[in-house]
Amino acid sequence: MEGYVRVAVVVNLFIFVSTVPADWPSSCKEIISRERWGGRMPVAVDYAIMPVKFAIIHHTVTPECNSEESCSKIMRSIQNFHMDTLEFHNVGYNFLVGGDGKIYEGSGWHKVGAHTRGYNSRSLGLAFIGDFSNKKPPSIQIQAAKDFLKCALDLGELDKDYKLFGARQVSATASPGIYIFNDMKNWPHFTTSP
């Protein structure tokens, strides 16, 4: 696998081997893959044309998590709900950010998610794991989201002039919660008019 660095991680006596491109931008941290968090295979996959023009921030309105083990458990629960109850093909969000400061793969890169009606094929959906309607997320979670958006930009997944907004700006939802939404107003690419 020329051009890649192999990293072995031991978790609860299981060894996960993650392949990270050797030329991965420094802004990019390791992303916890669907296989690593114990997810199911998607039912179907729809591909998006890259780079996308929008990044949309959500929160999951689930319990919070602060370790890879607890975040993985919540990821499996979210995937089960999205696939079994909502009949999505996979996790609706492209990626999720845990309270442990790690990014978790949802539907992933180059895939059409199911997170914001009317924007799914032209956006990257990033969700904070937890309910932030009445509280702030940990600073490590906020920083991980900001770093991830920089990574997506550096990888060419987001258009260089992409617009960032909260789900509440384009649909009837309180997502991503008032605290995240107010913080986002100071992030690069935030827009008041999607």
pLDDT in tens, 117-148: 999 999 999 999 999 999 999 999 999 999 99
Mean pLDDT of 52-60: 98
Handedness of CA 66, 38, 130, 180 (dihedral sign): positive
The whole-number average pLDDT for the span 55-84 is 98
pLDDT over 90, % of the chain: 84
Whole-number average pLDDT of the chain = 90
pLDDT confidence band for 15 (50 / 70 / 90): very low
Side by side, which strands form the sheet with 95-97? 31-32, 103-105, 95-97, 123-128, 52-59, 158-166
Confidence of residue 79 (pLDDT cuts 50, 70, 90): very high
Q: How many CB atoms lie within 10 A of CB 128?
A: 29
Does residue 10 carry a pLDDT above 90? no
Indicate the pLDDT class of residue 27, thresholds 50, 70 and 90.
Answer: confident
DSSP code string of 36-103? HHTPPPPS---BPPSSEEEEEEEE--S----SHHHHHHHHHHHHHIIIIIS--SS-SSSEEE-TTS-E
Q: What's the confidence (pLDDT) of residue 25? A: 80
**Three-state DSSP class for 138?**
coil
pLDDT value at 157 more than 70:
yes
Nearest CA to 47 out of 103, 120, 118 is that of 120
CATH entry, 26-184, from 3.40.50.1980, 3.40.80.10, 2.30.42.10, 1.10.357.10: 3.40.80.10
